[in-house]
């Protein structure tokens, strides 16, 4: 899938503005009020998160009988604070390769080391973010969705922002 398509899907995922909003008339008046079906938005968001593969980097994994599996209670919580990073093969990195930790929650490349963020609704994740912050993080690649924040590092940055950025 092209990066621009991914960006469009991610924007839809977090804005959700036009996905299921509709207009409802207040009974006995000419007033209209927007009606948003949150159940549908959540279902759509779940579909997009699964389809795009946010879990690949943002969910810690363990080795189960079928191979690597997401740890359900840690889903989308990002790089575990107590995880031990593998040693870095600097020769490979210096050739321009990106190397991922076994559960993919961390990566190292010519930009440095990056750690997948906690995306859960906990306050240590995105729990107290506004919708605008989501849009700024996703569309502009800004840490915590703050306009004056640092740029997000690879590998997440390239998923959402414009290729010529």
The 29-68 contact track toward ligand HEC, x by CB under 6 A, reads: --------------------x--xxx-xxx----------
Among the listed residues 124, 103, 125, 101, the one whose alpha carbon sits nearest the alpha carbon of residue 113: 101
Q: How far is the CB of 84 from ligand HEC (least distance, A)?
A: 17
CB 17 within 8 A of CB 24: no
Residue 96 phi/psi, 5° resolution? 105, 5
The stretch near ligand HEC (CB under 6 A) out of 25-33, 61-69, 83-91, 149-157 is 149-157
Residue 99 phi/psi, 5° resolution? -115, 135
Q: Which is nearer to ligand HEC, 24 or 69 (CB)?
A: 69
Instruction: Count interface residues toward ligand HEC (CB under 6 A).
Output: 21
Q: What residues from 101 to 140 belong to the interface with ligand HEC (CB under 6 A)? A: 114-117, 119, 137
Q: Which is nearer to ligand HEC, 32 or 51 (CB)?
A: 51
Q: Which is nearer to ligand HEC, 74 or 117 (CB)?
A: 117
Beta strand 112-115 with 106-109 is: antiparallel
CB-count burial class (<10 Å; 0-12, 13-18, 19+) for 70: middle
Q: Which is nearer to ligand HEC, 27 or 72 (CB)?
A: 72
């Amino acid at each position: 899938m092209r990066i621009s398509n991914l960006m469009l899907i991610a924007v839809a995922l977090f804005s959700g503005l036009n996905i299921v909003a509709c207009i409802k008339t207040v009974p006995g008046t000419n007033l209209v009020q927007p009606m948003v079906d949150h159940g549908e938005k959540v279902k759509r968001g779940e579909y997009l998160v699964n389809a795009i593969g946010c879990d690949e980097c943002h969910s810690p994994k363990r080795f189960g009988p079928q191979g690597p599996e997401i740890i359900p209670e840690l889903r989308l919580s990002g790089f575990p604070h107590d995880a031990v990073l593998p040693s870095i093969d600097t020769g490979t990195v210096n050739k321009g390769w990106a190397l991922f930790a076994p559960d993919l929650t961390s990566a190292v490349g010519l930009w440095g080391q990056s750690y997948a963020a906690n995306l859960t609704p906990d306050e240590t994740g995105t729990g107290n973010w506004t919708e605008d912050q989501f849009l700024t993080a996703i569309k502009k690649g800004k840490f915590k969705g703050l306009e004056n924040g640092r740029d997000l590092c690879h590998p997440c940055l390239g998923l959402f922002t414009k290729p010529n950025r």
